[in-house]
């Protein structure tokens, strides 16, 4: 696993991670690495990259965009921890959406952690709109047996709800 923080990175193998008495590390520098077993592992592409930007705008935002772009190229799972980000602008949401699209196109997993609720809602809404636009007027068609199952399930659920409602109103 590789942790990227303000443009610097730290290679971390979960088997080597400290479990007791863990305290938050000092800010990372370019030369900081944690790799006790083998130096050749640092040359292999990382499967998971964690990014924790301090800002999505300005110079720090540009550094984050470069780090995210690099992570999308070399990792299969990218986690972006937005714990330091309080709000996002429309421009930064657009950048995150582009990264999501790039990850989806390349079969990569991109997740945003600790995003504020309003930004998460806006991002989800934009993503759904983009998907709807790309799908167009496509209608989902299921196998007839599955359609029959869904219809029967709906009828059975309504009957069960009515029976529960009647039973709850009975007085013994």
Q: Which residues, listed in sequence order, are joined to residue 48 by a DSSP beta bridge? A: 77
pLDDT value, residue 136: 64
Higher pLDDT, 166 or 50: 50
User: Among 21-25, 40-44, 94-98, whose mean pLDDT is lowest?
Assistant: 21-25
Q: Give percent of the chain with pLDDT exceeding 90.
A: 41
pTM for this structure? 0.54
pLDDT value, residue 145: 82
**Is residue 86's pLDDT more than 80?**
yes
pLDDT value, residue 46: 55
Distances (CA, A) of 159 to 4, 130, 151: 55, 38, 13
Token readout for 163 is 């029976």
User: Among 87-91, 113-117, 138-142, whose mean pLDDT is lowest?
Assistant: 138-142
Query: 159-169, pLDDT tens digit by residue?
Result: 888 877 777 77
Distances (CA, A) of 91 to 40, 66, 97, 118, 123: 39, 16, 10, 15, 11
Tell me the average pLDDT of the chain: 75
Higher pLDDT, 154 or 114: 114
Higher pLDDT, 97 or 31: 97
């Amino acid at each position: 696993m590789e942790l990227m923080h303000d443009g610097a990175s730290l290679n971390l193998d979960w088997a080597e991670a400290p479990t007791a008495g863990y305290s938050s590390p000092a800010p990372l520098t370019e030369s900081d690495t944690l790799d006790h077993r083998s130096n050749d592992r640092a040359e292999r592409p990382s499967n998971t990259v964690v990014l924790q930007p301090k800002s999505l705008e300005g110079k720090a935002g540009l550094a984050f965009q470069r780090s995210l772009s690099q992570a999308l190229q070399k990792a299969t799972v990218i986690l972006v921890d937005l714990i330091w980000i309080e709000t996002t602008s429309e421009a930064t949401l657009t950048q995150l959406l582009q990264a999501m699209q790039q990850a989806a196109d390349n079969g990569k997993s991109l997740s945003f952690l600790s995003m504020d609720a309003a930004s998460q809602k806006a991002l989800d809404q934009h993503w759904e709109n983009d998907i709807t636009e790309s799908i167009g007027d496509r209608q989902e068609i299921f196998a007839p047996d599955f359609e029959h199952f869904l219809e029967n399930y709906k009828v059975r659920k309504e009957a069960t709800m009515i029976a529960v409602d009647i039973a709850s109103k009975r007085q013994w």
